[in-house]
Amino acid sequence: MTDDHDDIPMDGAIKQKLIKAKQGWARDGRLLTGTTADPARDRLPPGQRLVRDWPVFDLGAEPNVTPEKFRLDLDGMVENPLHLTLDDFMALPQTDSVSDMHCVTQWSRYDNHWRGVAARTLLELVRPKAEARHAVFHSHDGYTTNVRLDQFDQPDVFLVHLWEGKPITREHGGPVRMLIPRLYLWKSAKWLRRIELTGRDRPGFWEVRGYHNNADPWQEERYG
Ligand SMILES: Nc1nc2c(c(=O)[nH]1)N[C@H]1C(S)=C(S)[C@@H](COP(=O)(O)O)O[C@H]1N2
Ligand SMILES: [Mo]
């Protein structure tokens, strides 16, 4: 694998094997407890267990997005498309936040300290068209994932570049990744390259392979 490809195609025997395994879990309903929880009362969603470290989960192609190569496009159904360099992105208003992470593979991690640009800051800049209903996230490794616009347009959603005061490492999706803390972590795209607003829903990489489209951990929306 070379470091200087922007978009690494998701093929190769090892990755296909991993993808097949995870699709199998989705089919078998692996890890399902069949219970729900109330986020107002229960901090830990059903079937999750707490970890102290931060595990790495991706398709195995971890693109090397250098500051020079970094570009972020915000386009689709917007009045004012944006094309940002890393300097442009860093010049936007920055916010500190603290949130929990919940991964569908059952680990949760509390009190992560982040710094980045609020989704709402970007939405004010691009001005979604009236018909915009969904957001599709595109990454440098070819990964995609989707949420509704109302799930993206939340005060705790950020495009983050610092975790615990340090630049987000390459393995965790640096220089800039998504963070949508109230959905399972597969909705938080690493190595973010583009955010596209659409009128129709466009299920992403895991969503077309058996993962739940909505991904609410407290409803245990792992698969479906
Ligand atoms: N670009 C990209 N983003 C991705 C993925 C990926 O393979 N590529 N994997 C997703 C999945 S399945 C999970 S669980 C989280 C893991 O993030 P982490 O490795 O930082 O814990 O990233 C999500 N974002
Ligand atoms: Mo995942």
Q: Dump pLDDT digits (tens) for 140-190.
A: 999 999 999 999 999 999 999 999 999 999 999 999 999 999 999 999 999
Domains in the chain: ranges and CATH:
10-219 (3.90.420.10)
Ligand 1: nearest atom to the Cα of 55: 21
- Residue 172 is given by DSSP the state G
- Mean pLDDT of all residues in 88-98: 98
Alpha helices in the chain (DSSP H): 13-28, 86-91, 119-126, 149-152
Whether the CB-CB separation of 197 and 147 falls below 8 Å is answered with: no
- Residue 159 is predicted with a pLDDT of 99
Give, in order, the Cα–Cα distances in Å from 172 to each of 9, 58, 167, 208: 19, 9, 10, 23
* Ligand 1 pocket: which of 102, 145, 190, 209 to mutate (most atoms within 8 A of CB): 190
- pLDDT tens, 99-154? 999 999 999 999 999 999 999 999 999 999 999 999 999 999 999 999 999 999 99
Other CB atoms within 10 A of residue 115 CB: 18
Q: How far is the CA of 178 from the centre of ligand 1 (A)?
A: 10
Q: How does pLDDT run across 30-72, given as a tens digit for each residue?
A: 778 888 999 889 999 999 999 999 999 999 899 999 999 999 9
What pLDDT sits at residue 14? 65
- Please report the atom of ligand 1 found closest to the CA of residue 142: 1
Q: Are 144 and 177 in contact (CB under 8 A)?
A: no
Confidence of residue 10 (pLDDT cuts 50, 70, 90): low
**20: which residues sit within 8 A by CB, 6+ positions away?**
none
The protein residue with its alpha carbon nearest to ligand 1, atom 13, reads: 186
Distance CA 48, CA 51 (A): 10
Evaluate if residue 95 carries a pLDDT over 90.
Answer: yes
- Percent of the residues in the chain that have a pLDDT greater than 70, as a whole number: 94
Q: What is the pLDDT of residues 62-74, one digit of tens each?
A: 999 999 999 999 9
Confidence of residue 6 (pLDDT cuts 50, 70, 90): very low
CA 1 to chain centre: 24
Who's near 31: CB < 8 A, 6+ residues apart?
Answer: 25, 47, 104, 105, 106, 222
